[in-house]
Amino acid sequence: PRRRFGPGRARCDNPRMDAPIADVDGRWTLSGVANLHSHAFQRAMAGLAERMTHPSDSFWTWRETMYRMAARFDPDRLHAVAAQLYAEMLEAGYTAVCEFHYLHHAPDGRPYADPAAMSRALIAAARETGIRLTLLPVLYMTGGFDGRPLNDRQRRFGHDVDAWLRLFETLRAEQDDAGHDGMLRVGCALHSLRAVPPDAMRAVLAALPRETRVHLHIAEQIGEVQDCLALRGDRPVRWLLNQAEVDARWTLVHATHLEMDEIVGIADRGATVAICPTTEANLGDGLFPLRDFLDAGGAWGIGSDSHVSVSPVEELRWLEYGQRLVTRHRNIVATEACPSVGERLLAGVRASAAQATGFAATTLAGDRVVLDPAAPQLAGATADDVADRWVFAGNRPAVATVSVGGRAVVREGRHVDRDAIAARYATAMARLLADG
Ligand code: NGQ
Ligand code: ZN
């Protein structure tokens, strides 16, 4: 029989913690990975922003391409794209997703007849596919730190504080609807410091129920750090830590560019950092200082963000590889107490999942991802190496079955509704691309 634990070895960081992948009835099983950051519509442009649009392409020129794609969405298309994406997430081992949703209104900026129509499209997609959804309606008010108004492309993202609070209340009522079987949580997202003026940030935070999770993009690009320094007199994370009661309810997305006091500050407050390695690489953001953050005791998770990859294995592998490339060392996240890199990575994402998503830890622990017993990359695996072999043996999907909230959503590696979801997605893509 397989050993559940290595001989006399403490489990990563917390001796009471079970291994992230354990032998359950003879099958290697994990409790599912939480995806802490998603913009579902961006899945439709994966692979379509890899052509030169400017002699010095950057995050900011990519954003123009992204805005052109965003402008073509309506609730039906969003529903079709999100369903395909969420089915792919489940097939890859993600069982919960934090949807950072800002595509609220019609392209001209006017609210739909139902102001929550786009949010409901995401809720429907999650419900059909069976993924747990933390819906984060985004407050987006200004086009920069100087308070400039939203441009034409951004208009459909915008709310004033009162309208945003009405949307939040509408969605909270959905969360409490028994029809969702506890599969939906609603939190708050502030798009970024550049998109939310300080007074609005304070007003929204003061109005939220105490337990509400708060997510925001922060310090992803150097340009943003420089603008914040120039217009708010401090670096973004330092400014936020001074101006808001940041604590374990908060998730800071990216937080790429940090000085040591900011690294320690985030860790001390107990906030989670959502690191999105493949998107951050794709957009040329920079590298999160993971080793220092771990040394400070920081909580972190992963997000697939723009969905240039939909694979927790690839995000985790590249999280470690980025660090290896810059430090020219190996096994960066490993410690003496936890020498397995894969195990420490999976333990890290599991430890932050409940506080970032708002789902109870016991609830998330009941969701199950069973790895494929026939996967060659796991042949002869033991409790000591199974996590490393799952994460560091390439991109073959070794997921066999997934169940979320007791419902079997993936069987033999395929989402149970894969074909119907893919057909609807193909139709939606044809329309999205024809509009270009
Ligand atoms: C977003 N995505 O809102 O989709 C952003 C880009 C922005 C990432 N930061 C747009 N990865 O930050 O203004
Ligand atoms: Zn984002």
Q: Is the Cβ atom of 221 under 6 angstroms away from ligand 1? A: no
Q: Is the Cβ atom of 159 under 6 angstroms away from ligand 1? A: no
pTM: 0.96
Atom of ligand 1 nearest to the CA of 305: 11
Q: Does 45 score more than 60 pLDDT?
A: yes
In angstroms, what is the span from residue 103 Cα to ligand 2's centroid? Answer: 12
Atom of ligand 1 nearest to the CA of 62: 6
pLDDT of residue 394: 79
Q: Does 73 score more than 80 pLDDT?
A: yes
Q: Which ligand is nearest to the CA of 280?
A: 1
Q: Does 48 score more than 70 pLDDT?
A: yes
pLDDT of residue 5: 37
User: Around 36, how many Cα atoms within 13 Å sit in the side-chain half-sphere?
Assistant: 33
Kindly indicate the confidence band of residue 17, based on its pLDDT and cuts at 50, 70 and 90.
low
Euclidean distance between the first and the last CA atom of the chain, given in angstroms as a whole number:
58
In angstroms, what is the span from residue 291 Cα to ligand 2's centroid? Answer: 23
pLDDT of residue 14: 56
pLDDT of residue 397: 83
pLDDT of residue 8: 39
Kindly indicate the confidence band of residue 4, based on its pLDDT and cuts at 50, 70 and 90.
very low
Q: Give the pLDDT mean for 102-116.
A: 98
Q: Does 192 score more than 70 pLDDT?
A: yes
Atom of ligand 1 nearest to the CA of 221: 9
> Ligand 1 pocket check: which of 68, 69, 145, 220 to mutate, most ligand atoms within 8 Å of Cβ?
220
Q: Calculate what percentage of the chain has a pLDDT beyond 70.
A: 96
Geometric angle at alpha carbon 372, from 180 and 312, rounded to 5°: 60
In angstroms, what is the span from residue 66 Cα to ligand 2's centroid? Answer: 12
In angstroms, what is the span from residue 135 Cα to ligand 2's centroid? Answer: 13
pLDDT of residue 396: 85
List b or e across 147-184, with b for residues whose CB sees 16 or more CB atoms inside 10 angstroms.
eeebeebbbbbbbebeebbebbebbbebbeeeeeeebb
Q: Report which protein residue has its CA nearest ligand 1's atom 4.
A: 39
Q: Report which protein residue has its CA nearest ligand 1's atom 1.
A: 39
Q: Give the pLDDT mean for 348-359.
A: 98
Q: Is the Cβ atom of 224 under 6 angstroms away from ligand 1? A: no
The 3-state secondary structure of the chain reads CCCCCCCCCCCCCCCCCCCCCEEECCEEEECCEEEEEECHHHHHHCCCCCCCCCCCCCHHHHHHHHHHHHCCCCHHHHHHHHHHHHHHHHHHCEEEEEEEECCCCCCCCCCCCCCCHHHHHHHHHHHHHCCEEEEEEEECCCCCCCCCCCCHHHHHHCCCHHHHHHHHHHHHHHHHCHHHCCCEEECEEEEEHHHCCHHHHHHHHHHCCCCCCEEEEECCCHHHHHHHHHHHCCCHHHHHHHHCCCCCCEEEEECCCCCHHHHHHHHHHCCEEEECHHHHHHHCCCCCCHHHHHHCCCEEEECCECCCCCCHHHHHHHHHHHHHHHHCCCCCCCCCCCCCHHHHHHHHHHHHHHHHHCCCHHHHHCCEEEECCCCHHHCCCCCCCHHHHHHCCCCCCCEEEEEECCEEEEECCEECCHHHHHHHHHHHHHHHHHCC
What are all long-range contacts of 182-185, with beta carbons under 8 Å and residues at least 24 apart?
A: 182/363, 182/405, 183/126, 183/127, 183/130, 183/132, 183/133, 183/404, 183/405, 184/123, 184/126, 184/127, 184/132, 184/133, 184/134, 184/135, 185/132, 185/133, 185/134, 185/135, 185/213, 185/357, 185/358, 185/359
> Are the C-beta atoms of 266 and 273 separated by less than 8 Å?
yes
**Region of poorest pLDDT, from 15-24, 89-98, 323-332:** 15-24
> Considering the chain, what is the average pLDDT of its residues?
95
Q: Does 1 score more than 60 pLDDT?
A: no
Over the stretch 324-345, which tens digit does the pLDDT of each residue have? 999 999 999 999 999 999 999 9
CA distances from 378 to 28, 282, 338, 356, 417 (A): 9, 30, 20, 30, 27
Kindly indicate the confidence band of residue 370, based on its pLDDT and cuts at 50, 70 and 90.
very high
Q: Report which protein residue has its CA nearest ligand 1's atom 6.
A: 63
Q: Give the pLDDT mean for 211-222.
A: 98
Q: Give the pLDDT mean for 374-382.
A: 96
Over the stretch 151-181, which tens digit does the pLDDT of each residue have? 999 999 999 999 999 999 999 999 999 888 9
Kindly indicate the confidence band of residue 11, based on its pLDDT and cuts at 50, 70 and 90.
low
Q: Calculate what percentage of the chain has a pLDDT beyond 90.
A: 94
Q: Which residues are annotated as catalytic?
A: 254, 305
| Interatomic CA distance for residues 430 and 425, integer angstroms | 9
Q: Which ligand is nearest to the CA of 38?
A: 2
Atom of ligand 1 nearest to the CA of 191: 3
| Interatomic CA distance for residues 40 and 425, integer angstroms | 13
